Amino acid sequence: MAKKNKAQFVQDIADIKEDFPQWYTDVVIKTELVDYGPVKGSMVIRPYGYSIWENIQRELDTRFKETGHQNAYFPMLIPYSFLTREKNHIEGFAPEVALVTHYGEEELAEKLVVRPTSETIVCEMYKKWVKSYRDLPVLINQWANVFRCEKTTRPFLRTSEFLWQEGHTLHRTHEEALEETLKMLGVYEEFMKNVLAVPVLTGRKSEKEKFAGANATYSMEAMMLDGKSLQAGTSHDLGTNFAKGFEIKYLDSDGEHKMPYQTSWGVSTRLIGALIMAHGDQRGLALPPRVAPIQAIVIPIASHKEGVVDKADELYNELKVAGIRADRDYSDNSPGWKFNEWEMKGVPLRVEQGPRDIENGVVQIFRRDTCEKVEVARENIAETVTLLLEEVHENMYNKAKHFLETHIQVAENIEDMKDILDNQCFVKTMWCGDPECELKIKEMYQASARVMPFDQTPVGTKCVACGKVHTEETPLNTIYFARAY
Amino acid sequence: MAKKNKAQFVQDIADIKEDFPQWYTDVVIKTELVDYGPVKGSMVIRPYGYSIWENIQRELDTRFKETGHQNAYFPMLIPYSFLTREKNHIEGFAPEVALVTHYGEEELAEKLVVRPTSETIVCEMYKKWVKSYRDLPVLINQWANVFRCEKTTRPFLRTSEFLWQEGHTLHRTHEEALEETLKMLGVYEEFMKNVLAVPVLTGRKSEKEKFAGANATYSMEAMMLDGKSLQAGTSHDLGTNFAKGFEIKYLDSDGEHKMPYQTSWGVSTRLIGALIMAHGDQRGLALPPRVAPIQAIVIPIASHKEGVVDKADELYNELKVAGIRADRDYSDNSPGWKFNEWEMKGVPLRVEQGPRDIENGVVQIFRRDTCEKVEVARENIAETVTLLLEEVHENMYNKAKHFLETHIQVAENIEDMKDILDNQCFVKTMWCGDPECELKIKEMYQASARVMPFDQTPVGTKCVACGKVHTEETPLNTIYFARAY
């Protein structure tokens, strides 16, 4: 990489307060997380970005297996007719699918779609595999690429092709299926907190916002630094909607043929966008330690002086041996350049050591989350770094949680929503459930219904849009509205 | 799963000696490794099969990273015109590609192909990323799905869509690129030996058999139990063929603009087919321990007797804690049924314990590789099992190596090739290099040129097909011919 100076870095990244979307684009491109692909709406995930995805995958995959799921792989190309077997499904996805019509010169008898999601092909196989109640539950997850044509795209947040995992399960009863749906939403929520350091709001989606083919969609919503909401993951109670279309039936212990209840749940490379927009600042990325490709970067100061690089090597090796994802920068760039570079790349800890530090038996550690430097003893450095990484995680989570909590405001009247939204906050309010009211809010403020939280404590007495009154007998919904990605 | 008896198992699997292809199909379907997808030529990798793939991925990925490679992800859909920028590439792949012509109702201005391999789209991005000699080498790998329409398909061995990894690297000099090509072939060979317990023959492919767009293709060939060859992985020296088509240039340290040299290398889910066909027997799968989803299955005998299941649990937990991939079968099937089931599924070790064993402080261990039972002390069982798994691996490798070595025969005349091939052996012979001679052998015996080994010690004095004489000045090629998958 060519040598640059401090001034250039600042010039190159748009002001985070003034133009958040441009700040985001500048950061993801400049830090080499991602690049634009040649086909409109496509992205290339570069090594630094893919490494974050690998860490996300490892953390999630462990959790899926601990909750009894196994991975499998289903074909990417699906007969078009499969999509039509669930009415809402085809309506939702038909405009977005990529159609394969030829193999080479040969036109296909039935056109195929590149999977936008896999419920249909999964059902086709489950129909073959599930015969008896003994075959239930089926608990399968798939890591895959999917494709949905999108008009407006942005790296990680919304791209035509993206990488994700999709869980697809079958159960004997609706109770069990609902339990699974909520359990996996819980797994996601815990992962967001303990791995990405991002707090989320969870709850149920409105009818308008639910998955095409679901009875109910549960979602987690994360707040970005511009006060917009990002749907970070969803978990669907599919009922028997797809099972009907694919005629999945099993022989129950009572000798009757029954239809199983189905769930699906997924998160995607969108999570990388979420963590960037939840933690970044004017200097660039600030990566949560548990997914940061590099957790600590070792930088020798005055490295031309004898022994300094050797000592840096010792430091580096000690960190590596302790299982810390450490790296070192011995390039001939100036320390100032390196500081900027690794801060922009969001490395949680910078570990510096110069001749005087060596003499004094200390190292200087710069924390990316607080942008403060601390001097620590050289002895037991791996232990110190490990503890600091924990502290960084906690601090990042608490900061994001504080931000979320201080950016939610209650609105009792629709007029009040404007200021709240313009002040980059979520609106917590009451809603009668009528899609007309939802639409009205959308049209007035470009804000959408995000989730109806599980805690339905009322925050008002009437529907924010139509004024319908909340009563014990005909309760309204407590709900969050926000502008969203 | 429904209860079955011993007799049925044997009935259900075709005779391995009489109908090897049917044996293969029976085994992969019955053991639930894989199933046929709804679209012709597609497969569904079921959890038991996918788990083998996950183990393969983990082992390979570690090796790629140790040799300095990073993972990235490139888009699946590639503009058709990209393929045409390398003449041989488009000729080779045009008939096989799946074409995307529409997004929903909207016809695309330029049709897209589902990647059959990613050299072209990778080059398009490398052109953007590589400016200076300081940007070299580029050492990137991708785990992805690819699609090639195939006429004759077989699960794992040849399917339209398959999963693989593809390494794509750029270098300053041809020497360095060639070194990379051979290094990665070496990584594959070591992996085959130490993980899949499969010996391979390595060397260079003939012009006819090389990758569409390569200067030279290096391959590893594994021998299946029917004496056929399976190309298990390839590594390509691409020269500057693609770099030219995509105008990749960098500024070298001497101030000149130069073209980098490129390599690519890949292995796929085909490896699962390879290990099945290299190690299986009439009872079904025999999985090499280092990729077996279950390394040891614990089966209590007379489990209705008090304490037997508790003791089995203790056994199981001890194995798990030691990092062994153990499982347990407490189902109400008979021990005989369970023995058959887990033997068919290829689990390397079966650990049995009945009341008498408990009394005597011993366990019975059945080795899938030798089909022999040994009695071992209950004490330190995890250590014993770990050692046994190593032994099983070594024995499986040595058996396969012996099979390979005893199934290679030298032919000096084309007439001799028939018996050798019919006796399920590889032919080692001399070849002048003329594609006509290669074609003649193909037409006569349906055998193809597999590899020209690095050790070119002659095994004859003239070309097996045309009789051209080998001299020091105009040497012929030492080469393996075989029937192949």
State the smallest CA–CA distance between residue A21 and chain B in angstroms.
23
User: Given this model, what pLDDT does residue B12 score?
Assistant: 85
User: How far is the alpha carbon of B205 from chain A, nearest alpha carbon, in Å?
Assistant: 26
Closest CA to A116 of A140, A138, A137, A86: A86
Question: B64 and B141 in contact (C-beta within 8 Å)?
Answer: yes
**Chain B neighbors of A79, CB-CB under 8 A:** 38-39
Residue in chain B nearest A53 by alpha carbon = B72
Among candidates A45, A73, A149 on the partner chain, residue whose Cβ is nearest the Cβ of B73: A45
The domain made up of A409-482 has a fold known as Translation Initiation Factor IF3 (3.30.110)
> Tokens 């995958």 sit at which residue?
A57
State how far residue A127 is from chain B, nearest Cα, in angstroms.
Answer: 12
Chain A nearest C-alpha distance from B478 (Å):
37
Could B163 and A73 be called an inter-chain contact, meaning their C-beta atoms sit closer than 8 Å? yes
CB-nearest partner of B46 from A38, A72, A144: A72
Q: Which fold has domain B408-482?
A: Translation Initiation Factor IF3 (3.30.110)
Which tens digits make up the pLDDT trace of A343-380?
A: 999 999 999 999 999 999 999 999 999 999 999 999 99
- Chain-centroid distance, C-alpha A485: 12
Give the distance from residue B262's alpha carbon to the nearest chain A alpha carbon, in angstroms.
Answer: 18
- pLDDT tens track, chain A, 485 positions: 344 444 455 568 999 999 999 999 999 999 999 999 999 999 999 999 999 999 999 999 999 999 999 999 999 999 999 999 999 999 999 999 999 999 999 999 999 999 999 999 999 999 999 999 999 999 999 999 999 999 899 999 999 999 999 999 999 999 999 999 999 999 999 999 999 999 999 999 999 999 999 999 999 999 999 999 999 999 999 999 999 999 999 999 999 999 999 999 999 999 999 999 999 999 999 999 999 999 999 999 999 999 999 999 999 999 999 999 999 999 999 999 999 999 999 999 999 999 999 999 999 999 999 999 999 999 999 999 999 999 999 999 999 999 999 999 999 999 999 999 999 999 999 999 999 999 999 999 999 999 999 999 999 999 999 999 989 898 999 999 999 99
Burial class (CB in 10 A: 0-12, 13-18, 19+), B225: buried
Chain A positions in Cβ-Cβ contact with residue B94 (cut-off 8 Å) = 104
Contacts A121 to B, Cβ<8 Å: 37-38
Q: Chain-wide mean pLDDT for chain B?
A: 96
- For β-strands B296-300 and B349-353, DSSP reports them as parallel
Q: How confident is the model at residue B423, as a pLDDT? A: 97
d(CA B141, CA A83): 34
Chain A residues near residue B135 by CB distance under 8 angstroms: 1
Q: Are A419 and A402 spatial neighbours (Cβ–Cβ below 8 Å)?
A: no
Q: Please judge whether A46 and B72 are an interchain contact, meaning their C-beta atoms are less than 8 angstroms apart.
A: yes
Q: Using CA atoms, how far apart are residues A88 and A117, in angstroms rounded to an integer?
A: 14
Fold classification of A17-279 is BirA Bifunctional Protein; domain 2 (3.30.930)
Contacts A101 to B, Cβ<8 Å: 99-102
State the nearest Cα–Cα gap between B249 and chain A, in angstroms.
16
The enclosing H or E element of A333 equals none
Chain A residues touching B97 at Cβ < 8 A:
103-104
The pLDDT value recorded for residue A11 is 64
**What is the model's pLDDT at position B2?**
40
Bridge partners (DSSP) listed for residue B205: none
For chain A, what is the largest distance between any 2 Cα atoms, rounded to a whole number of angstroms? 83
What's the gap in Å between the CA of B270 and the closest CA on chain A? 14
What residues of chain A lie within 8 A of the CB of B156, using their CB?
A: none
Strands A349-353 and A70-71: unpaired
What separation in angstroms does the CA of A146 have from each of A114, A149, A159, A216, A276?
7, 10, 10, 22, 22
Across the interface, do A103 and B1 touch by the CB < 8 Å criterion? no
Which pLDDT does position B224 carry in this prediction? Answer: 98
The reported pLDDT for the residue numbered B485 is 95
Residue A5 has what pLDDT?
A: 47
Question: Do the Cβ atoms of A188 and A232 come closer than 8 Å?
Answer: yes
CB neighbourhood size of A315 (10 A): 24
How far is Cα A188 from Cα A203, in angstroms, rounded to an integer? 12
Residues of chain B with pLDDT under 70: 1-11
Classify domain A296-404 by CATH architecture: 3-Layer(aba) Sandwich (3.40)
Question: Taking Cα atoms as reference points, which of B285, B289, B369, B297 lies closest to residue B326?
Answer: B297
Cα separation values, A235 from A26, A122, A218, A248, A478, Å: 32, 16, 5, 21, 20
CA distance B275 to B272: 5
Number of Cβ pairs closer than 8 Å across A and B? 160
H or E element: which one contains B481?
Answer: strand B477-482
Nearest to A37 among B75, B98, B105 (CB): B75
| Topology of domain B19-279, CATH | BirA Bifunctional Protein; domain 2 (3.30.930)
Distance from CA of B146 to the nearest CA of A (A): 9
Whole-structure pTM value: 0.96
For domain B296-387, give the fold: Rossmann fold (3.40.50)
Three-state SS annotation for B379-448 = CCHHHHHHHHHHHHHHHHHHHHHHHHHCCEEECCCHHHHHHHHHCCCEEEEEECCCHHHHHHHHHHHCCE
- Which chain B residues are within 8 Å of A51, Cβ to Cβ? 70-71
- Whether A312 contacts A354, CB under 8 Å: no
Q: Which of A1, A39, A124 is facing B75, going by the closest CB pair?
A: A39
CA B412, CA A433: separation in Å to the nearest integer? 85
Chain A residues in contact with B35 by the CB 8 A cut-off are 125, 128-129
Hey, where are the domains in chain A?
Answer: 17-279, 296-404, 409-482
Chain A contacts of B34, Cβ < 8 Å?
none
Cβ-proximal residues to B198 (8 Å cutoff; 6+ apart), any chain = B192, B222, B232, B274, B275, B278, B279, B288, B397, B400
Least CB-CB distance to A100: which of B38, B98, B128?
B98
- For A96, which residue in chain B has the nearest alpha carbon? B104
DSSP conformation class of A199: -
Contact A77 B44 (CB under 8 A): no
| Other Cβ atoms within 10 Å of B471 Cβ, number | 9
Nearest to B100 among A35, A100, A129 (CB): A100
CA end-to-end span of chain B: 33
Token pair of B301 as six digits: 């005998």
